[in-house]
Amino acid sequence: MEKNNQLILALDVTEKNKALDVAEKVYEYVDAVKIGYPLVLKTGIGIIEDISSRVPVIADFKVADIPNTNRLICEQVFNSGADAVIVHGFTGRDSLDACVATANEYNRQVFVVADMSHPGATEFFQQVSEKIAKMSLDTGVSGVVAPATRTNSVENIRKIIGNELAIISPGVGAQGGSASDVINKGADWVITGRSIYQSDSPDTEAKKVVQEIKNRN
């Protein structure tokens, strides 16, 4: 994934036409589109190929199973055209290694969830986020996920991983995170969804986020 605009769209819609329409309108402003279970379960896994023909796709399936099942999931994801997959790290090194090995076979990327953007993440994730970040360093992953809603978490994780891994940061927009703030704290990309895809003018909203990042102090 090339770092151009530092924006990833979280396309959390369930209708195929809506997804394709928004992707078409914003592809110039985003470096990737992140899709998850709601869209795939409603429309089928072929939606990955449909969108990836226009813009790189990150499959946000938060893969969290035993190694063999993780491998099977990742194979389906990459066979469908995804450029990257998001996986959980709390299931352990062997499960993560299975995802990375599969990604390497397809020359694709893996991002590991080190922390999440919702309030409930503080109940458990904060206790293990630094440990997951440390584990990720020598696994061959491309980066970690850390929340724009708690920039201290991004800052701490950046100190752990240095410049070895990228940080993609969800929670910008509807969840209250600031694109410029979290980039300044060490994120490489911000992830935003509702403020763009629920807008009457998704391209305008995407452009605003890009400009905020480029004009930050």
- Residue 64 among known ligand-binding residues: yes
Answer for the pair 29, 205: CB distance below 8 angstroms, yes or no. no
Residue from 65, 97, 181, 203 carrying the catalytic annotation: 65
- Residue 66 among known ligand-binding residues: yes
CA distance 171 to 113: 13
Answer for the pair 154, 181: CB distance below 8 angstroms, yes or no. no
- Residue 178 among known ligand-binding residues: yes
- Residue 60 among known ligand-binding residues: yes
- Residue 68 among known ligand-binding residues: yes
- Residue 190 among known ligand-binding residues: no
- Residue 125 among known ligand-binding residues: no
| Catalytic residue list contains 65 | yes
Nearest to 179, CA basis, from 145, 208, 143: 208
- Residue 179 among known ligand-binding residues: yes
- Helix/strand/coil for 216: coil
Residue from 60, 83, 115, 188 carrying the catalytic annotation: 60
- Residue 36 among known ligand-binding residues: no
Residue 93 CA: distances (Å) to CA of 69, 82, 145, 168: 14, 23, 17, 21
CA distance 171 to 211: 18
- How many C-beta neighbours within 10 Å does residue 46 have? 12
CA distance 80 to 51: 10
- Residue 193 among known ligand-binding residues: yes
Q: Which helix (H) or strand (E) holds 53?
A: none
Residue from 62, 181, 207, 208 carrying the catalytic annotation: 62
| Catalytic residue list contains 62 | yes
- Residue 81 among known ligand-binding residues: no
CA distance 15 to 81: 19
Q: Which residues are catalytic?
A: 60, 62, 65
- Known binding-site residue numbers for substrate: 12, 34, 60-69, 117, 170-180, 193-194
- Known binding-site residue numbers: 12, 34, 60-69, 117, 170-180, 193-194
